[in-house]
Amino acid sequence: MSKEKDLSNAITNALQKNHEIEYCNNWLEVLESPFVIFNTENNQMDWQYFTEEEREHEVQDFHASALIIQNEFQKTIDRLKDLLGQRKETVITELEQMIKPSLDDDNRDNANG
């Protein structure tokens, strides 16, 4: 496989992992919010919250997923660095800064919660 193809695949993988992290973060926000269900007893739409136990279970699952994704993300960044070589370090640093904010947000959320 050519170096350009490797680089293209590595960038695509990094962006995909970033998207997955954002998805996890968004779902964690959803878990804290009420949601609407249809109550068949009175044929009304009711606001519900996840129970504490349900929420805790989902949060643990998503935190575990986010850690796996972050590790894969770091491997992809390392692969990009290898492909581009050290003389192009500034390009990678800029790419990391474009992609990494959602990682930092997730870490900050984990530290606070």
Chain segment 62-84, per-residue pLDDT in tens: 778 778 877 887 887 777 777 77
How many CA atoms are closer than 13 Å to the CA of 74, on its beta-carbon side?
A: 7
**What's at 66, amino acid-wise?**
A
Identify the segments of the chain with pLDDT beneath 50.
none
User: What residue ranges in 24-96 does DSSP mark as E strands?
Assistant: 35-39, 44-48
Handedness of CA 76, 79, 83, 86 (dihedral sign): positive
Predicted local distance difference test score (pLDDT) of residue 54: 76
pLDDT of residue 48: 66
Determine contact, residues 48/34, Cβ cutoff 8 Å. yes
What are φ and ψ of residue 39, in 5° steps?
-85, 110
Write down the pLDDT at residue 73: 78
